[in-house]
Amino acid sequence: MRPDDASALRRLTEQLLRTNLRVGVDGRTGRGYRYLCPSPHEYRHQWFWDSCFHAVAAAHVDAEHAVAELETLLARQREDGFIGHMHFWERRRLDAGDLWSMLQSKPALRPRSSGLIQPPVLAQAVERVAEIAGDSSLPARFLARLDRYHAWLAEQRADGDGLLAVVSPYEAGTDHSPAFDAMLGVTAHHPSPYRLQARLRLLDLRLAVRGYDNARMLRTGPFYAKDPLVNALYADALETMARMHRAQANNAAAEGYEARATQTAEAMLRKMYSPERGAFFLLEGRGEERVDCLTVAGLMPLTVQRLPADVAGEVIERCLTDAERFRLHYPLPSVAACDPAFDSRGQALSWRGPAWVNTNWLVWRGLRRHGFDDLAEQLTARTVEMVAGAGLREFYNPLTGEGLGAKSFGWSALALDMAEGTR
C-alpha cells in the first residue's frame, strides 16, 4: 500500500463531511439530527448499515461526528427496540424514489422510518468507533439501547435455531443478488433490470398490504429467507455485545449473548455450510432449501469468532484465494466469477458481480480475527488502490478497478479504516 493512497483516502473521507453531511432539526420532534447520507446525488436519507459504516470511517477524521451519526440512527428506535432500515429526516418535496422508499414503511402520510431491517452491524460500529477514538467509556452510553435492539431481533426474527429470517432482499442489504432470483420469480442469469425492479416493487406492495406488520410478514409474506451475511453479522453482533458487557462487568449479560452467538454459529454451520464447496449458502423459504448461488455473502461467516478454524481455512482456501471465484485483481466480487450470473460492471442491477468496499471491510475483519494477517494486508492493499484510484464510488469493477454506481458514496471510505487498521 502506497503512503500516497492512504493520504488520498483521508482527504476523501474529510470531503464526505462537507458533501454528504445532513444537519437539521426534525420538525415533528424538535430533535436535532446529524448524519452522512450515502450519496448526495442518489441517496439523501439515512440508511441503517450505511450509517454504521459511515461512523467507523468518520471516526478517523472526526470522532465527534461518528458518535453523532450513531446517536441520530438510534434516535428513531421504537420503544420495543426495532430500528428501521431507512430514516426520513429532511422535509422537502418528494420525488419518485422517495415515494417508493416510503412504500417500505407502515402506512403514514409522512413516515419517519421504514418497516424493514438491515444487517445488524450497529454493535460492531459502536465498538469500533470507541477503539478508534480511544474512548473505552463510549459503549456504556449505548448498551441499554443496543440490548433492546438485539432483544427485538431475537424475539421477532429468530426462530428456535437462532437464525434470523428476512422478508425482503432489502433487509439483506444485497438488493439484486442472484441468490434471491428464484424467490422473486426471475429465471434468467442476467435479467432485465426493469423486470427485476418490477418484481421488487411488487414485493413492496405485498408487504405494504400487510402493513409491514412483522408477524404477518413472517407468517404469510411472499418472501422468506435466512441469509448467511445477515446471520454472520448477527452472530458477530452478539459476540460484540458480550465483549462490551463483559468490559462493564455485566457478566451475566455477557454469558447470555455468548450462548446466543454459539447457537447462531452452530445453526449456520449445520444448515448453511457446504463442506464440498467451502462456503455458506442462503436458505430459501420456510422449507429452508439451500440456494446454489455462490455470492460474497457466503464468505461472511469469517467475521464470526466462533467459526471453527478448519472451516475458516477451508472457506479461505476454496473461495478467497481461488482466481476462478473471488481472487480477482480487485477483490472481492459480489458474485463468484465462476457463477453464471456474474457481471463485472453490473450498474443497472447491483450485487451481481461488482466489488463493494463494505464487504471487503467485513471479510478483512474476519481474516484478522482468524489470524490470516497476510491475506488481510493483501485485501487492504487492493481495496485502498481501487478506492484511491477511482474515488468514493458505490461499487467497483473487480477486473479493472473502475468506479461504478453513485458518486461520493459514503461507506467506501471504510477503506481508510482498513489502511489505518493495518498500521
Q: How many CB atoms lie within 10 A of CB 210?
A: 18
Q: What is the mean pLDDT of residues 110-126?
A: 92
Confidence of residue 109 (pLDDT cuts 50, 70, 90): very low
Domain membership of residue 110 as a residue range:
3-421
Picking from 71, 161, 165, the residue whose alpha carbon sits closest to that of residue 117 is 165
Joined grid coordinates for residue 318: 476454496
Q: What percent of the chain has pLDDT over 90?
A: 87
Picking from 74, 76, 56, the residue whose alpha carbon sits closest to that of residue 65 is 56
pLDDT of residue 27: 79
pLDDT of residue 221: 94
pLDDT of residue 120: 98
Residue-wise pLDDT for 39-68, tens only, equals 998 898 999 999 999 999 999 999 999 999
Q: What is the mean pLDDT of residues 398-421?
A: 96
pLDDT tops 70 at residue 181: yes
The secondary structure element, H or E, covering residue 264 is helix 251-271
The overall average pLDDT reported for the chain is 94
> CA angle 11-16-18, nearest 5°?
105
Cβ neighbours of residue 301 under 8 Å, at least 6 residues apart? 228, 232, 235, 265, 268, 272, 273, 280, 307, 311, 315, 366
Residue-wise pLDDT for 343-380, tens only, equals 998 878 899 999 999 999 999 999 999 999 999 999 99
User: Dihedral (C-alpha) 151, 152, 154, 160: value to the nearest 10 degrees?
Assistant: 130
3-state SS, residue 45: coil
Q: What is the mean pLDDT of residues 394-422?
A: 95
Confidence of residue 297 (pLDDT cuts 50, 70, 90): very high
Higher pLDDT among residues 255 and 97, named by residue: 255
Joined grid coordinates for residue 397: 469493477
Rg (CA), the chain: 20
pLDDT of residue 150: 98
Joined grid coordinates for residue 334: 459480489
List, as own/partner pairs, every contact residues 213-219 make where C-beta atoms lie below 8 angstroms and the sequence separation is at least 24, other chains included. Answer: 214/82, 214/156, 214/157, 215/156, 217/167, 218/157, 218/165, 218/167
Confidence of residue 423 (pLDDT cuts 50, 70, 90): very low
pLDDT of residue 106: 66
Q: What backbone phi and psi angles, to 5 degrees, belong to 396?
A: -140, 150
Confidence of residue 99 (pLDDT cuts 50, 70, 90): low
Cis peptide before 332 (omega within 30 of 0): yes
Residue-wise pLDDT for 384-407, tens only, equals 999 999 999 999 999 999 999 999
Would you give the DSSP letter of residue 340?
T
* Residues 108-134 as b or e (16 or more Cβ within 10 Å = b): eeebbbbbbbbbbbbbbbbbbbbebee
CATH number at residue 118: 1.50.10.10
Q: What is the mean pLDDT of residues 225-239?
A: 98
User: Dihedral (C-alpha) 282, 288, 289, 295: value to the nearest 10 degrees?
Assistant: 0
Q: What is the mean pLDDT of residues 302-322?
A: 97
**Numbers of helices and strands, H then E, in the chain:** 16, 11
- Is residue 168 within 8 A of residue 222, CB to CB? The reply is no
Q: Provide the domain count of the chain.
A: 1
Confidence of residue 69 (pLDDT cuts 50, 70, 90): very high
Rounded to 5, what percent of the chain is helix, strand, coil?
50, 10, 40
Q: What is the mean pLDDT of residues 407-416?
A: 98
DSSP string, 143-155: HHHHHHHHHHHHH
Cα–Cα distances in Å, from 98 out to 42, 176, 320, 351, 415?
A: 11, 19, 38, 22, 29
- Is residue 119 within 8 A of residue 229, CB to CB? The reply is yes
